[in-house]
Structure 1
């Protein structure tokens, strides 16, 4: 893998220029710097005086690096030119050849830690070997395969691509439920994700599967994050497959109930009693939070003299008019 792989939009050119110039100020000449630069770059050098640089050779190297940083070319090409310049001026075993990696924050470089594990398994090696389009195609093929298996197991249908997604996530009769379908918001979420899943197959997976379309590393990263998001969304449906919920309606009913709850003074006792009366287990309650389907949110409310929520502010507040409360909200 190239040293510049994974570094787009993260390099601190100024820092590279300073360190490279400092490291070579006793090991090269003005003529050598100029000769190598002219062989690699197709633009003239511009002066970038920096008071902290005292060596003429260091200043010239810095000028070339900063001039490169200003060029109107894509980041991947720019970084490759920078690497070529560094290699031309340094011996094979020089630690200066690691300057690009050293100026990148390691947590930024390894974006895979934020990507769903299923996507990492099928895409990471291809991506890091430079096969960006193949990595993207594999990511969305994995999503297609996962949804196809669910639909086949539940309905016996064997579909693929956009038609698979519109059947699986249908807003009227979904096989895979992603939201509380008893509310308009939930139905909109279901419809929206159906369109995203279907659109990803038509607009991303299919073109890269059928044609040799080149794709930049940066664009591939964006697509991989989208695939990761969709995989995480599918994880929520696993609550039924794991047997935590009997069916979609039981999950939908619990989400609807929880999203209607507000807890004045952060008191939850009544809700747990009602959950038990509804037939919901502690495992089900915990699972919808662990999966990220719902979250707690702080809320400030006015309360009447009797301690009841005055949501419409129709009653005068008591001497302590505001109190912290908790509301459970469905996460889109």
Structure 2
């Protein structure tokens, strides 16, 4: 609640400054409940190079990330996941959330990590169906349809690491024969 209010106040103040109604940029203190991590001595590009190792993601997002185009880097990473899954399952007619719900369907999946014969395996499968679908809906769609959705290096790294996890999990999945 506090963060969105502060963001709106900051944007209003920047607008007032832009049109000449304000004289200085408003500096708002960080909320006390905000737990900031300790600053890293490494730059984001160095962290990227050490952690983002899957070639499908590294190749499409490395240069974008290094040049500060965080939204585009994340966008390309999630599009790479989508493309990988489309090709692995030969599901070229579907994309985004529909693709993920279809491919990881509980009743007739195209990809799976196990035979889903015990509750834990069923739970894993259903959970990842939601994670893949949610990643397309909550991450890929906004970065594709909104300009500069992600403008923070740390957030971009987190989303790229999540993308890498999803890609590795998709690589480990077996094609289910129907």
Instruction: Please say if residues 61 and 73 of structure 2, whose CA atoms lie closer than 8 Å, have aligned partners that are also in contact.
Output: yes
Cα gap change, 1:125 to 1:157, in 2 (>3 Å)? closer
**TM-score between the two structures when normalised by the length of structure 2:** 0.70
Give how far 1:125 is off: 0.5
The answer to whether residue 102 in structure 2 is matched with residue 167 in structure 1 is yes
Aligned length: 144
Deviation for aligned residue 1:118:
1.6
* Aligned-residue offset at 1:224: 0.4
Q: What runs of 5+ residues in structure 2 fail to find an aligned partner?
A: 1-25
CA deviation string 1:81-129 (max 9, x = no partner): xxxxxxxxxxxxxxxxxxxxxx8258x9333322222211111100110
Structure 1 residue runs of 5 or longer lacking an equivalent are 1-41, 44-70, 80-102, 241-246, 250-332
Matches within 5 A, 1:1-332: 72=30, 104=41, 109-115=46-52, 116-152=54-90, 158-212=93-147, 213-237=149-173, 240=174, 248=176
Return the alpha-carbon distance in structure 2 between the equivalents of residues 183 and 197 of structure 1: 21
Work out the CA distance in 2 between the residues paired with 1:157 and 1:123: 23
* Greater per-residue strand proportion: 1
Query: 1:248: Cα distance to partner?
Result: 4.1
Q: CA deviation at 1:149?
A: 1.4
Distance 1:110 1:214 in 2: 18
Equivalent pair of 1:179/1:189 in contact (CA under 8 Å): no
Q: Which has the higher contact order (CA 8 A, sep 6+)?
A: 2
Between Structure 1 and Structure 2, whose CA radius of gyration is higher?
1
Relative to structure 1, the CA distance from residue 105 to residue 218 in structure 2 (aligned partners, 3 Å threshold; closer, same or farther) is closer
What are the superposed Cα offsets for residues 258-288 of structure 1, whole Å, 9 maximum, x if unpaired? xxxxxxxxxxxxxxxxxxxxxxxxxxxxxxx
Higher relative helix content: 2
Report Cα offsets for 1:160-200 as digits up to 9, x if no partner.
Answer: 10010011011121100123411111011001001100111
CA apart distance, 1:203: 0.7
